[in-house]
């Protein structure tokens, strides 16, 4: 308090001093002018001393004003900085409170009852979160997305059906739906899978006899398949996740996959008369390359070859006719004309699709990339790198490149 009183006393004295000398300042100026005039007589010694003292006082006053201005600026800056610090503290407190609020929107767990929850193929965190809230499995979408982020599990979420509870802690839900071993009674149809593999898995998961599935296939899917399928199920199962645990028959499971396929074809704008053709081409695209970025080019190669009646020459097609993998083909099998699916010999599309293609492959067939390509080779099966050309000599070079990779692997 002493230092503050001294400062106020200094301001008061300064004000009084300025008031007393207000009139005398002009007089000092006049005195200086007189002194500078060479024609004027010299001032007496006393007078000159007064002038010097007044000049000295003026300098002191100016110095005081500068010091006061500096102090005022420092004071203003200090107030501003203090205000900023206060606001920043309030903001951080709000963030902390917000975080606590988000956390409070989670159930403590462990939950109650039982519910079968299905994660569809390709579903993201937000879509899963919304469905979990609808089922009252988690309390809020924020709690679930936070739990996924904390566990760094965005790329680990599994497609399939899981046995969960109502009112679970979000972290517990994440732990379950990222664990493949927790998938229960859920049939996952992957793009490119053959009907035989899908039905074998469906029988195992559902507990329904495989003979019941075989009977439907042998009967040509009567009452299930559209006429465009010509009695063959290949290509007509829509990839996705199906809960088969509660299914009462093989017909129920198969019908669900076919109905979903037809609905998807309609959504993509495919007319009924083109269903089989589009699925046939898309299955070849799906079978030939394992990277979606090449689908459009492969679809174009198919169109270009069909346009000039050139055999497709796709090994995935030949292998399907033999019920094996393309890498298992032998030279004699490649030359076997008795195989109706040997498209190195038989021109045109194969008799049926060769797998169940995904939606990306179908879209590629509907809108193939522009190009003159007639050949392509996947030169590295690990990376999926595929090279395209319209030149046969260049194609042979690519084939040698693949053979070198195969020899090294």
Whether residues 292 and 401 share a domain: the answer is: yes
Residue 125 belongs to domain with CATH number? 3.30.1490.480
- Domain assignment present for residue 238? The answer is yes
- 304-319 pLDDT per residue, tens: 999 999 999 999 999 9
Q: Could you give the maximum distance between any two Cα atoms of the chain, in Å?
A: 138
| Banded pLDDT at 52 (limits 50, 70, 90) | low
| 275 within some domain | no
Give the span between the Cα atoms of 334 and 343, in whole angstroms: 9
Q: Which one, of 297, 25, 228, 241, lies nearest residue 118 by Cα?
A: 241
Same-domain check for residues 251 and 307: no
Q: Is residue 282 part of a domain?
A: no
Write down the pTM of the prediction: 0.64
Residue 274 falls inside a structural domain: no
Burial class (CB in 10 A: 0-12, 13-18, 19+), 329: middle
C-alpha–C-alpha distance, residues 30 and 361, integer Å: 100
Residues 312 and 326 both lie in one domain: yes
Q: Residue 377 forms beta bridges with which residues? A: 387
Q: Report the run of H or E that residue 128 belongs to, with start and end.
A: helix 125-134
Structurally, how many domains does the chain consist of?
A: 4
In the predicted model, is pLDDT for residue 172 greater than 50?
yes
143 pLDDT more than 60:
yes
| Same-domain check for residues 402 and 292 | yes
In a domain, 14, yes or no: no
Percentage of the chain modeled with pLDDT above 90? 65
* 91 shares its domain with 204: no
Query: Is 10 inside any structural domain?
Result: no
Q: How far apart are CA 237 and CA 183, in angstroms?
A: 21
- Is the dihedral angle over the CA atoms 283, 286, 289, 294 positive or is it negative? positive
Tokens 């969960």 correspond to 164
State which of 86, 104, 122 marks the end of a domain: 104
User: What is the spatial distance between Cα 331 and Cα 335, in angstroms, rounded to a whole number?
Assistant: 7
User: In this model, does residue 79 exceed pLDDT 80?
Assistant: no
Residues 243 and 293 both lie in one domain: no
Sign of the dihedral through C-alpha 207, 210, 211, 213? positive
Q: Decide which of 104, 130, 162 is a domain's last residue.
A: 104
Say yes or no to pLDDT of 252 above 50. Answer: yes
Look at residue 233 in the predicted model and tell me its pLDDT: 98
Q: Is the pLDDT of residue 400 over 90?
A: yes
Q: Which helix (H) or strand (E) holds 129?
A: helix 125-134
CA distance 151 to 171: 8
DSSP string, 99-114: HHHHHHTS--S--EEE
- Is the domain of 308 the same as that of 349? yes
- 392, part of any domain: yes
Provide the domain limits for residue 308. 287-408
Report the pLDDT value the prediction gives residue 71, as an integer from 0 to 100.
75
Domain stops at, among 104, 137, 163: 104
Which of the four pLDDT bands, split at 50, 70 and 90, describes residue 161?
Answer: confident
pLDDT digits (tens, 9 = 90+) for 81-136: 666 555 665 555 554 444 444 455 899 989 998 888 989 878 899 999 999 999 99
Pairing of strands 186-189, 240-243: antiparallel
If asked whether residues 358 and 401 sit together in one domain, one would say yes
Q: What are φ and ψ of residue 314, in 5° steps?
A: -95, 120
**248, two tokens:** 């009462």
Q: What is the average pLDDT value for the chain, to the nearest integer?
A: 85
Are 301 and 381 part of one and the same domain?
yes
221 in a structural domain:
yes
């Amino acid at each position: 308090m002493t230092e503050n009183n001294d400062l106020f006393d200094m301001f008061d004295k300064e004000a009084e001093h300025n008031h007393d000398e207000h009139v005398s300042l002009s007089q000092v100026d006049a005195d200086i002018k007189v002194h500078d005039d060479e024609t004027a007589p010299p001032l007496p010694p006393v007078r000159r001393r007064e002038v010097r003292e007044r000049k000295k006082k003026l300098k002191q006053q100016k110095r005081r004003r500068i010091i006061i201005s500096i102090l005022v600026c420092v004071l203003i800056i200090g107030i501003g900085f203090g205000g900023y610090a206060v606001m920043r503290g309030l903001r951080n407190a709000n963030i902390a409170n917000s975080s606590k609020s988000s956390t409070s929107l989670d159930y403590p767990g462990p939950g109650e009852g039982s519910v079968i929850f299905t994660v569809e193929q390709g579903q993201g965190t937000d879509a899963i979160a919304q469905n979990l809230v609808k089922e009252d499995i988690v309390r809020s979408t924020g709690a679930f997305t936070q739990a996924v982020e904390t566990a760094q599990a965005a790329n680990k979420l599994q497609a399939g059906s899981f046995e969960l509870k109502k009112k679970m802690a979000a972290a517990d839900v994440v732990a379950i739906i990222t664990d493949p071993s927790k998938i229960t009674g859920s049939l996952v149809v992957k793009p490119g899978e053959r009907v035989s593999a899908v039905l074998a898995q469906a029988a195992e998961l559902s507990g329904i006899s495989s003979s019941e599935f075989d009977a439907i296939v042998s009967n040509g899917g009567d009452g299930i398949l559209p006429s465009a399928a010509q009695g063959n199920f290949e290509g007509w199962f829509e990839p996705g996740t199906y809960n088969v645990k509660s299914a009462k028959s093989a017909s129920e499971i198969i019908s669900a996959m076919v109905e979903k396929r037809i609905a998807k074809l309609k959504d993509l704008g495919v007319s009924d008369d083109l269903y089989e053709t589009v699925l046939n081409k898309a299955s070849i695209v799906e079978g030939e390359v394992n990277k979606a970025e090449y689908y459009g080019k492969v679809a174009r190669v198919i169109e270009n070859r069909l346009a000039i009646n050139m055999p497709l020459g796709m090994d995935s097609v030949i292998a399907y006719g033999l019920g094996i993998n393309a890498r298992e083909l032998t030279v004699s099998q490649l030359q076997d004309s008795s195989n109706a699916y040997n498209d190195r010999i038989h021109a045109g599309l194969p008799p049926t699709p060769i797998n169940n293609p995904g939606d990306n492959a179908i879209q590629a067939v509907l809108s193939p990339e522009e190009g003159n390509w007639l050949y392509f080779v996947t030169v590295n099966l690990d990376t999926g790198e595929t090279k395209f050309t319209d030149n046969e000599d260049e194609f042979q070079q690519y084939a040698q490149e693949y053979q070198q990779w195969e020899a090294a692997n």
